[in-house]
Amino acid sequence: MAQKTLARKARFLDAGVAGSKVPAEQGNLRFFVGGETADFEACLPLFKAMGSEAIHIGGYGMGITGRWCLT
């Protein structure tokens, strides 16, 4: 998915989310984000608006991989 998105000259991040309904309602979700650092930094205010923590953990695919490791 990342490669197809990038081929269209768009940016791409994947973000695994930790938290359930109550943390979501309280704005306490945790995001594990994969993609380019500059894209993560540009989107950080959006992640912070929805959750309490956003961690850039590597390249494309690492966000969801990081979330799976918590399961």
The total domain count for the chain is: 1
Cα three-residue angle 64-59-1, rounded to 5 degrees: 65
* Residue 64 CB partners (closer than 8 Å, separation 6+): 14, 15, 16, 32, 34
* pLDDT tens for the chain, residues 1 to 71: 888 988 999 999 999 998 888 988 998 999 999 999 999 999 999 999 999 999 999 999 889 888 777 76
Q: Which residues of 2-40 are buried (b: 16+ CB within 10 A; e: fewer)?
A: beeeeeeeeebbbbbbbbeeeeeeeeebbbbbbbbeeeb
Which domain covers residue 31, as residue numbers? 2-70
36: domain CATH number is: 3.40.50.720
Q: Report pLDDT for 71.
A: 65
**Radius of gyration of the chain measured on its C-alpha atoms:** 12
